[in-house]
Amino acid sequence: MWFTAVDYIIFALLLILSSAIGLYYALSGGKQRTTQEFLLANRNMGFLPVTLSLLATFQSAVAILGVPSEIYRSGTEYWFLGCSYILGLLIPACVFVPVFYRLRLTSTYEYLELRFSKKVRICGTITFIFQMVIYMGVVLYAPALAFSAVTGFSLWGVVLTMGLVCTLYTTLGGLKAVIWTDVIQTLVMFAGQLAVIIVGTAKVGGIQDVWAIAVNNSMISGINFNPDPFVRHSIWSLGIGGIFLMLSLYGVNQAQVQRYLSSRTEKEAVMSCYAVFPCQQLVLGLGCLTGLVMFAYYQKNEIQNPEMIKVPDQMVLYFVMDILQDFPGLPGLFVACLFSGALSTISSAFNSLATVTMEDLIKPHFPNLTESRATLISKGLGECRP
């Protein structure tokens, strides 16, 4: 993938804008001088930014690369995961969000102590930290590895760039900066995916040709009611398993609960959870459509790329190289889309890990900790995360 000056400018703008948002919130308003402002945005965020931030937090680069690859290899059966979004978001909106909001919590795991005991709270916190550190590694390393492999960019240069930019705006601007950069990054992710779909569809001959090729090659799957747990996908594994996945992400995950708690009112917090449903359906639809366009393009042009097939995680990047190389700026937009997915997830992880470490592990042992010192330590925790 040969980058032109326009591509570099578009990519650099994403990094500069993210850093600028962090700097803006470091110098405006309360200037991140209290833990309430740094960790919960003063509980003053509106419905729309919270909704888009909820969407972006777990819409990682892994999903942007992985969903189209899954559709390319296995057909559209994976789309039925969207059926789980109804209950998976309805239950948190009706049950979890009101409880957490009315209790005025900062950490999700405070509820475990209220309901059970302090030991259960600590166990939950440590489990979350362990899980998020591993997840951050995958989210950061996987897209960097794929991107480096097909473009020749330095792997560790990519990792270091994402890590530094994330640390900068998360530490400077707190949760407000994280949420507003999520908004920008969500729009960039949509733009990057749409660019690939539009150009790819045009090269195939139109959406009707994409659909015809998919149907003729049995890529459009119906509902699979097979109860066998060993089949790749079925309505049972996608529907039932997906509900529990959504409950874990949107019901009790600290990164998401923190966004609910940052809302101005309980009503806005609940509405933001409801609003994630159509947004998630759109994201899933874009991923599936990208996979179908990619399949149709290679079928129509009778192109078989052995490198692409051998490494499925890099399929989308090879496809982007093939169709966007004649459009200056669009490769840069897609790379910005990919990095937006990684940045939104990593920044949310930084902030949520700093929150649970401060609220669950430090404050209980240092009850006389001053507000200014607690805020300073919270910022330091954000910088020290891997």
pLDDT number for residue 115: 92
* Helices and strands (H and E) in the chain: how many: 18, 0
pLDDT at 179: 92
Looking at the chain, the whole-number percentage of residues with pLDDT higher than 70 is: 94
Residue corresponding to tokens 């570099």: 8
Give the model's pLDDT for residue 307.
58
Taking 80 as the threshold, does the pLDDT of residue 1 lie above it? no
CB count within 10 Å of CB 183 equals 19
Structural domain spans, the chain: 5-27+34-384
pLDDT at 97 over 90: yes
Average pLDDT over residues 195-217: 94
pLDDT at 319 over 70: yes
- DSSP-derived 3-state class of residue 223: coil
Question: How far does the chain reach from its first CA to its final CA, in angstroms?
Answer: 29
Element (H, E) at 222: none
The mean pLDDT value for 213-225 works out to: 87
What's the pLDDT at 325? 83
What is residue 189's predicted lDDT score, i.e. its pLDDT? 93
Class of domain 5-27+34-384: mainly alpha
As a whole number of angstroms, the distance between CA 150 and CA 321 comes to 9
* Rounded distance between C-alpha atoms, residue 176 and residue 192, angstroms: 24
The better pLDDT of the pair 151, 353 is held by 353
Predicted pLDDT at 257: 94
180 Cβ partners below 8 Å, 6+ apart? 21, 25, 49, 173
DSSP state of 263: B
pLDDT for the residue numbered 313: 73
Smallest Cα–Cα separation from 355: which of 248, 255, 250? 255
pLDDT at 315: 85
CA geometry: angle at 267 spanning 347 and 97, to 5°? 55
Per the structure block, which two tokens stand in for 331? 């490769």
Please report which residue ranges of 238-370 form alpha helices under DSSP H.
241-247, 254-261, 266-300, 306-310, 315-324, 330-356
pTM for the model stands at 0.90
Tokens of 53: 């931030």
Crossing angle of the two packed helices 155-204 and 315-324, in degrees rounded to 10: 60
Interval 25-60: pLDDT, tens: 877 765 677 888 888 888 889 999 999 999 998 888
Beta bridge partners of 263: 45
Contact 205, 300 (CB under 8 A): yes
Distance CA(41)–CA(86), nearest Å, equals 29
What confidence tier does 152 reach under pLDDT thresholds 50, 70, 90?
A: confident
Backbone phi and psi for residue 263, each to the nearest 5 degrees, phi listed first: -70, 155
